[in-house]
Amino acid sequence: MLLFLCLIYLTSMMIYVLHFSTYGEDRIVVGSLDLNQCLSLPDEIVGMKPEVSGADTTRAYLSNVCVARELHRNGLAYELLEKSKLVARNWGITDLYVHVADDNEPAKKLYMKSGFVYESDEPAWQARFLDRPRRLLLWMGLSIS
């Protein structure tokens, strides 16, 4: 299962991102992310939790987290993460993961602030083979109420 979350604000300011109208009101998408309910993502480090059967329905990965550059440092990415955690809980997800480039300090700081912790990292040979910066795998346990 895949969910694409968009953070949409009513605005008169023109920013060159997705711009559309709903019920006669101008809106723009200022941020988005994907929530993937699955065992693993292609070419990525695989999470180890939960350590019981049924991980295919209780494990999820966040990916493609982005906010319009003009709106960085306004708490929008944090709000997207918080909303995605609520959606994940509603889906019965107990273990939430995110991959982050080891050299992306702002993103690592954001994920740690949101409650993610380090689980593992990509082997250097794999990063070289895929021609990308080395990635870390961060994990968060979600309680289902």
**What is the torsion angle, in degrees rounded to the nearest 10, for the CA atoms of residue 78, residue 8, residue 65 and residue 94?**
60
Domain that holds residue 75: 31-141
- The token duo for 90 is 């509603």
Is 15 part of any domain? no
Residue whose entry in the numeric block shows the structure tokens 């994940």: 88
* Paired strand residues for 34: 4, 63
Domain at 86, CATH number: 3.40.630.30
Rounded distance, CA 23 to CA 43, Å? 41
Q: Work out how many domains the chain is built from and give that number.
A: 1
Report if residue 7 sits inside a domain: no
Active site residue 16: no
CA separation for the pair 12, 17 (Å, rounded): 13
pLDDT score for 50: 60
Query: Using DSSP, how many helices (H) and how many strands (E) does the chain show?
Result: 4, 7
| Active-site annotation holder among 9, 61, 97, 111 | 111
Asked if residue 6 belongs to a domain, the reply is: no
Paired tokens of 73? 């440092």
pTM for this model (two decimals): 0.76
Residue 101 lies inside a defined structural domain of this protein: yes
Question: Is 102 within the bounds of a domain?
Answer: yes
Tens-place pLDDT, residues 29-67: 778 888 888 766 656 767 767 666 655 678 889 988 888
Whether 125 shows a pLDDT value over 80: the answer reads yes
